[in-house]
Amino acid sequence: MRVNAGFEGEAEQQLNFLAEAKGLGVSEVLRTSVQRYDEQLRAQRNGLAHFSAFIGRGHSGHSDIACSYKIHLAAGSHG
């Protein structure tokens, strides 16, 4: 697939910096960036899918866990 994209201002500066810092062409920087973004997103989705299998299971003693699991998770509550 061929892509024609315009980069201006800060985005252009960032792209040029990455290309120079890594000694790569702009196309290779873009391919690598897309690959890493894809890997990150897939890892997040897989992690959430795995985590969602446990939501609502067990008996934590918290009657509000279904509504506030994000708060408990962020706080590190293992109740």
Identify the weakest region by mean pLDDT among 32-41, 42-51, 65-74: 65-74
Identity of residue 68: S
pLDDT at 57 over 80: no
DSSP-assigned letters across all residues of 44-72:
HHHHHHHHHTTTT-S--S-TTHHHHHHHH
Q: How many domains in the chain? A: 1
Higher pLDDT among residues 23 and 49, named by residue: 23
Six token digits for residue 45: 């989705």
Position 17 in a domain? yes
Six token digits for residue 62: 């918290």
Handedness of CA 8, 11, 45, 77 (dihedral sign): negative
Position 3 in a domain? no
Position 69 in a domain? yes
Distant-in-sequence, close-in-space partners of 42: CB < 8 Å, separation ≥ 6: none
pLDDT at 54 over 70: no
- In this prediction, residue 77 carries a pLDDT of 55
pLDDT at 23 over 90: yes
pLDDT at 58 over 60: yes
> What is the residue range of 63's domain?
9-75
